[in-house]
Amino acid sequence: MRTYSPKAGDIEHKWWVVDAEGQILGRLASAIASRLRGKDKPTFAPHMDGGDFVVVINAAKVRVTGRKMEQKQYYRHSGYPGGLRTTVLANEMEKHPDRVIEAAVRGMLPKGALGHQMIKKLKVYSRGDHPHAAQQPQTWTLTPDIIGGSEA
């Protein structure tokens, strides 16, 4: 018996739309990262991009638990001495709520070329509309059992 390894032409990429309104950021990002990698498919191969496209709407209405809005910080560095810049989650949610979800999902994907290829299949929009109607995306409802428990 031989181990099955999918070929690039055998992989079918579906499109999914998920509504982030009221969802917890980390649990949502974990479910999205799993779908982008293709871990929900029986043809999963860790060395290939076998995942689906995910469109996230209402990114501005995502929730976080605890005091993360005031305490969680995002760091970036210009490369020059003294070039470290920090931003608090609350400020990032006001200006660019789509980047918050992208950063959370990016941290859960493989590092390197494969991860870069997977993150390109994530489309995040802060409002409830998206321009991907032509791809006929399916609605993906996240239930508490999919995202690992319920928290009110």
Q: The pTM is what?
A: 0.91
Residue reference for tokens 């996240």: 142
Token look-up 């006929």 returns: 136
Per-residue confidence at 151, pLDDT binned at 50, 70, 90? very low
For residue 145, pLDDT beyond 70: no
The pLDDT assigned to 146 comes to: 55
Q: Give SS3 for 79.
A: coil
CB 14 within 8 A of CB 56: no
Q: Does the structure show a pLDDT above 80 at 148?
A: no
**Averaged over 118-141, what is the pLDDT?**
96
Amino acid type, 24:
I
Mean pLDDT computed over 64-92: 97
Residue 152: band (very low, low, confident or very high) from pLDDT cuts 50, 70, 90: very low
Say if residue 140's pLDDT is above 90: yes
How far is Cα of residue 133 from the mean position of the Cα atoms in its chain? 19
**How many CA atoms lie less than 13 Å away from 78 in the CB half-sphere?**
6
Per-residue pLDDT of 17-41, as tens digits, reads 999 999 999 999 999 999 999 999 9
pLDDT at position 1: 87
Domain 15-63+92-104+128-139: CATH class, spelled out = alpha beta
Q: Contact at 8 Å (CB) between 57 and 127?
A: yes
Radius of gyration of the chain (CA): 17
Name the burial class of residue 149, with classes exposed (0-12), middle (13-18) and buried (19+) by CB atoms within 10 angstroms of its CB: exposed
Range in 30-34, 43-47, 56-60, 81-85 with the lowest mean pLDDT: 43-47
